[in-house]
Structure 1
């Protein structure tokens, strides 16, 4: 059954072009269209689509408010369209915090030309989000059917005592590198807010994002977290309690002098790429790196994680149940590279406890 999409935008031109592009894929169909946030909430309630594409600036009710209403009634994957500006980035981050799943740039030039690259990217995003949502719903239903009441224990004293676990000593790390893609802005926030201001390691963050977005994201994280966060610049020093976010459209590498290099490498698909950052960390920090792979589409980070493991470093990955998209961490786990597979809610506290 095709995935049913609700298209929400106040521009009739954009609605029609999106509708045409979406329906060019046999696994996608447009269930309805809405021209403002209020209509979107009503259509989401009545049509029960599998996915929603959402604009921000609309009459009667803006996109963020609509996202909050929709997610409160029936959580559903929502793909936001955003302008590639600093203000557009700030608004998109607000939408992701409100419950939107992912975002794409809103470029009228590309849409009017019906560029194949844009159409293919739109199809990939919608299909990935929709399939993940359906798979999660099916797993939840199956788990509910299989649930059975726990057997009663007549005498609590007869229940076996839990086996004691030996204490595990802390490893000595020199650098923490965390990477993410789809779902990453919320996941990274959840991790970093748990870290104390005096966190003893330098932190490098790699989030798949376009230019302009990373500066707004770093500023947002800096306001929310106890550790300091800023967008990385070439030559920035790695300092304990400071998180440097790789700038969108560039590559971040660490060097052997305790600083970062920002490069414009056009040969790599992801900019920034976790593979590039992990690889440089493996080269210069050997076994002293803790790498963490969070939610995201694709397999970026797997080969870099392999290099880190070969150098003796440690890799944690997020579990499937807490991921928005179980792509990047799945690639690492399936390759046998994860030392720990953890729920998102546990990663920040474990870092604070075992490293901090």
Structure 2
């Protein structure tokens, strides 16, 4: 059995995916999970239900509960123990036998942790509802536990970069609606590739954005250190650098560690326009200017923050995030 929440796969290998808020009767006749040709199976042999535990915000990653209730004559067995008309909560890996012959199932839990980016309120609400039914969880921030990123159209956000690095699918919300329909009708499940959102990102131009999984993205920043000059940029982009195998460091005002800045594996991230918007920060501006001057004196450049995303998208740190290459491909 499997679903975002819970699942049972018979020993023969046929999976049953279970949705939250639905009762599944296991039995010999007119049942959601039909077991024929087994005389020890009652007409209504057992009931499976998936429910969400009551959670506090700090426990948001809790796994839905799959319960089996025995209603049979010849017994339901969990890991060899007979239930005798009682209910028990099942864990991933548990084995269930319905009756006394070969009707054996294994419980599997497939985590479904969905992060969304750039959705409006109505789209978020619909997504929450679908993921709840699938026994999954919607989170606001990307972590390595996330299994999907949902967008209506692809823009290069930090979440997009992180999802690409982790090799997780970026898909339209409709995917989950179709997934529920397929589970309900026991049809073939939809494939991610049919639900890639259109790319709406001027910075990429007309080049094709490959959303499929590429293992080289997981190590794109391996061996590189990114030096951030503002806490805001460090907080925003540091997680993406770390996920890609790099190191993210925040240099505090006044420190200039020149030897560190001019190493070939170090990218100093350009502060862009943000500095001119900070009131009364002449000292900060002078400090960042002096760092950029050090780089220029060594024929190096600060790397615009957009290049962190572009390096991931196009799987190249030769063209992007390369302090020795001047922009414009010199």
Normalised by the length of structure 2, the TM-score is 0.26
Rg bigger for which structure? 2
Normalised by the length of structure 1, the TM-score is 0.25
More helix by share: 1
